[in-house]
Amino acid sequence: MTMIFNKVLRAGFQAGLRFQSTGPQASARAAVASLREAHGGFSFELTEQQKEFQELARKFAREEIVPAAPSYDRSGEYPFPLIKRAWELGLMNGHIPEDCGGMGLGIFDACLITEELAFGCTGVQTAIEANSLGQMPVIIAGSAAQKKKYLGRMTEEPLMCAYCVTEPGAGSDVAGIKTRAVKKGDEYVVTGQKMWITNGGKANWYFLLARTDPDPKAPASKAFTGFIVEADTPGVQPGRKEMNMGQRCSDTRGITFEEVRIPKENVLIGEGAGFKIAMGAFDKTRPPVAAGAVGLAQRALEEATKYALERKTFGKVIAEHQAVSFILAEMAMKVELARMAYQRAAWEVDQGRRNTYFASIAKAFAGDIANQCAADAVQVFGGNGFNSEYPVEKLMRDAKIYQIYEGTAQIQRLIISREHLGKFKQ
Amino acid sequence: MSGRVLVGVKRVIDYAVKIRVKPDHTGVVTDGVKHSMNPFCEIAVEEAVKLKEKKLIKEVVAVSCGPQQVQETIRTALAMGADRGIHVEVSGKDYETLGPLQVSKILAALAKKEQADLIILGKQAIDDDCNQTGQMTAALLDWPQGTFASEVTLDADKLKVVREIDGGLETIKIKLPAVVTADLRLNTPRYATLPNIMKAKKKKIANVKPADLGVDVSSRLEVLKVDEPPQRQAGVKVETVDDLVGKLKEAGRI
């Protein structure tokens, strides 16, 4: 071997530990069809292009995100240089359709990339993912003009956007949001308070959900409207950056809307269509969030494995003690299963089918195992794991939010039981 | 001047992989092992693409010799900015014995066929560490060579090459057509961006056989045995400085 010091120093991780990820992808339907024939109708094979995307994201995450993550976590500073770099490499905004300057990637391809970036740092990855969440309502419900205007600009410069639905008094109960939008001539005037908005202080524009029907008895499916709001509209007041347990470099804020005037051209679909749009976005964004949780769990597994092969106790490396190797085995089980779950959910929606059942299963499971694997990794590291000089305590702090945002673990179970019972009754 | 640059890219076992010798000691395990583009070849591709971006050359052609799998390596070069690829098909026993002499004959033949002005190669491959292909190719073509390049400046038909040598840096001026081999500090290879990976699929890779180029790939070398480096022996602890000096004298070290 020759002296490739630069590369060896920069890349800290063995490429060999992880095998290629799996799952067919509908964006090359002809290729998939022939793959299906060859593999007997079911395939875990990635296309060449998917492998290359994954390789690119993996290289970027391990060489650039991993080394920078600890200092962003300590300072809480927004990782704009990393985000800009991801944008330059085409790792962001993958869902934006080609006619708006994007790459029109399917959810599966996006998930492959998301998992790799999350391996590097879920704080960075969440900041990037929030763009997809904010854009999704526009992608699924925007008019050609709205798409061109708001998605187009994201491909011309590294801009951020945000999904503005949660309020201090309503998270899971989306129908309980109180932000009001009142029609006045050709505008809507919006007043209310949003909370826990990722990219709240950095967004160029928001997808906003507000109540347009004042009648408290109006059904949720008709009472809300989705808007696109330019962040510099007078009356939009982002609050302070919140100090959270984990994913600390991600920018999370409360946002006050004080008589904000939105032109009617910025309504998505029409008045009253908002709830369905906001919920519809989740079927496409839950698989990537699950993928992010898997990325974190994979990181936990790799860090714990590396440590277990180095640390010695009672005369041998701790990986040779079954108590420890069993912990690693269970972590591996969870990671592999969670990965297959998000791949199935992503594949289903790319095939054009409703994937709510699979998306909720993937997100619920991945969120839970990410927390378990992170805690297990700390355990494998022992006393060192509790210390901030080692990478795993950050994983524990970062993992918790995966059981909360994008639909809490409890809400996911509600959805899964409803879907399951619904299917059963048919 | 055709403005065409040929870049050789070799598919090798990835630098991060732990190499294992095959049980029969005929070589190293390659099945199921991660392969990627030789790091020095990446640097070569980057330099060629940079020259094209500066509009000093017109076309970058990536070449690789080997079985079907080397097409992945050519695709990586295409994703980095090469315009088209040439896959020289060599497989089976021929591939196992393929070495610098045969590859340089192939590259020389291609350079004449493609009317290349410049050939850029990595200085050596990380699997065999031969450091011969560039030099042999230049000799076969009777072209000047700038090896171990850490800086390359092109001016019309003259190339200024700063070479890394044992004593420091040597600057030479050579006339095109020429062969350059890339050293570590020549540049930092770019990532292929996602859009470029997608665009690379549309770029063409031509298939060619060595026989078509009039090249005989049979080897005059035979690998007798491949062994791991000897295990590092444990040291010996001594009590006093006198003991240490005594032991060193015994071992003939002083």
- Which pLDDT belongs to residue A30? 58
List, as residue ranges, the binding site of A: 163-172, 196-198, 311-313, 321-322, 379-383, 408-410
Mean pLDDT computed over A103-129: 95
- The C-alpha of B15 sits at a distance from chain A's nearest C-alpha, in angstroms, of 8
- Which pLDDT belongs to residue B1? 76
- Which pLDDT belongs to residue A17? 36
CA trace torsion A262, A264, A270, A275 (10° rounding): 0
Cα first-last separation, chain A: 63
A126 with A292: CB under 8 angstroms?
yes
Rounded to 5 degrees, φ, ψ at B191 are -75, 145
CA distance A52 to A103: 15
Token reading at A233: 């509209």
Number of Cβ within 10 Å of residue A354's Cβ equals: 12
Tell me which chain B residues have a C-beta less than 8 angstroms from the C-beta of A9. Answer: none
CA distances from A13 to A8, A300, A306, A381 (A): 9, 13, 9, 18
Q: Which of B187, B222, B193, B237 is nearest to B50 (CA)?
A: B187
Question: Residue A10 pLDDT more than 50?
Answer: no
* Residue in chain A nearest B18 by alpha carbon: A16
Of A52, A53, A60, A100, which to mutate for an interface test with B (greatest number of B Cβ within 10 Å)?
A: A52
Of the partner residues B184, B191, B196, the one whose CB lies closest to the CB of residue A4: B184
User: Does residue A404 sit at the B interface (CB-CB below 8 Å)?
Assistant: no
Percent helix, percent strand, percent coil in chain B, to nearest 5: 30, 25, 40
Mean pLDDT computed over B93-105: 94
Mean pLDDT computed over B72-82: 95
Contacts of residue A62, Cβ cutoff 8 Å, sequence gap at least 6 = A11, A12, A13, A119, A120
Higher pLDDT, A20 or A266: A266
Of the partner residues A6, A13, A89, the one whose CB lies closest to the CB of residue B194: A89
pLDDT in tens, B144-187: 999 999 999 998 889 999 999 999 999 999 999 999 999 999 99
Contact call for B197 and A2, based on CB within 8 A = no
For residue A212, the SS3 value is coil
CA distance A88 to A197: 25
CA distance A142 to A144: 6
Contact call for A14 and B72, based on CB within 8 A = no
Question: Residue A9 pLDDT more than 80?
Answer: no
Rama region for A318: left / alpha / beta (φ>0; ψ in -120 to 50; rest):
alpha
CA distances from B176 to A98, A127, B111, B149, B153 (A): 42, 50, 13, 15, 12
pLDDT in tens, A28-81: 455 556 655 666 678 889 998 899 999 999 999 999 999 999 999 999 999 999
As a whole-number percent, the residues of chain A with pLDDT over 90 amount to 86
pLDDT in tens, A71-84: 999 999 999 999 99
Tell me which chain A residues have a C-beta less than 8 angstroms from the C-beta of B193. Answer: 56, 88-90
User: Does residue A28 sit at the B interface (CB-CB below 8 Å)?
Assistant: no
Question: Residue A295 pLDDT more than 50?
Answer: yes
Interhelix angle A322-350/A274-308, rounded to 10 degrees, is 150
Contact call for B18 and A16, based on CB within 8 A = yes
pLDDT in tens, A314-369: 999 999 999 999 999 999 999 999 999 999 999 999 999 999 999 999 999 999 99
- Which pLDDT belongs to residue B58? 95
User: Does residue A20 sit at the B interface (CB-CB below 8 Å)?
Assistant: no
B5 CB burial (10 A radius; 0-12, 13-18, 19+): buried
- Which pLDDT belongs to residue A31? 59
CA distance A350 to A402: 23
The average confidence (pLDDT) of chain B is: 94
Name the residue with tokens 């395939």: A43
Contact call for B194 and A6, based on CB within 8 A = no
Q: Which of B142, B202, B200, B152 is nearest to B173 (CA)?
A: B152
- The C-alpha of A15 sits at a distance from chain B's nearest C-alpha, in angstroms, of 6
Contact call for B15 and A4, based on CB within 8 A = yes
- Which pLDDT belongs to residue A27? 43
- Which pLDDT belongs to residue A20? 38
Contact call for A15 and B193, based on CB within 8 A = no
List, as residue ranges, the binding site of A for FAD: 163-172, 196-198, 311-313, 321-322, 379-383, 408-410
Token reading at B7: 């870049």
Q: Which of B150, B147, B141, B210 is nearest to B177 (CA)?
A: B141
CA distance B242 to B239: 8
- Which pLDDT belongs to residue B68? 95
Question: Residue A209 pLDDT more than 60?
Answer: yes
* Residue in chain A nearest B190 by alpha carbon: A89
Q: Which of A2-16, A172-186, A215-229, A291-305 has the lowest mean pLDDT?
A: A2-16
* Residue in chain B nearest A5 by alpha carbon: B184
* Residue in chain A nearest B183 by alpha carbon: A4
Of the partner residues A11, A15, A60, the one whose CB lies closest to the CB of residue B191: A60
Contact call for B193 and A89, based on CB within 8 A = yes
Would residue A406 show up in a list of annotated catalytic residues for this protein? yes
Of the partner residues B16, B184, B194, the one whose CB lies closest to the CB of residue A103: B194
Tell me how far the alpha carbon of residue B27 is from its chain's centroid.
Answer: 19
User: Does residue B166 sit at the A interface (CB-CB below 8 Å)?
Assistant: no
For residue A78, the SS3 value is coil
User: Does residue B194 sit at the A interface (CB-CB below 8 Å)?
Assistant: yes
The average confidence (pLDDT) of chain A is: 91
pLDDT in tens, A215-256: 999 999 999 999 999 999 999 999 999 999 999 999 999 999
As a whole-number percent, the residues of chain B with pLDDT over 90 amount to 83
The model's confidence at residue A11, banded by pLDDT at 50, 70 and 90, is very low
A231 with A197: CB under 8 angstroms?
no
Contact call for A7 and B193, based on CB within 8 A = no
- Which pLDDT belongs to residue A18? 42
Question: Residue A272 pLDDT more than 80?
Answer: yes
CA distance B169 to A137: 58
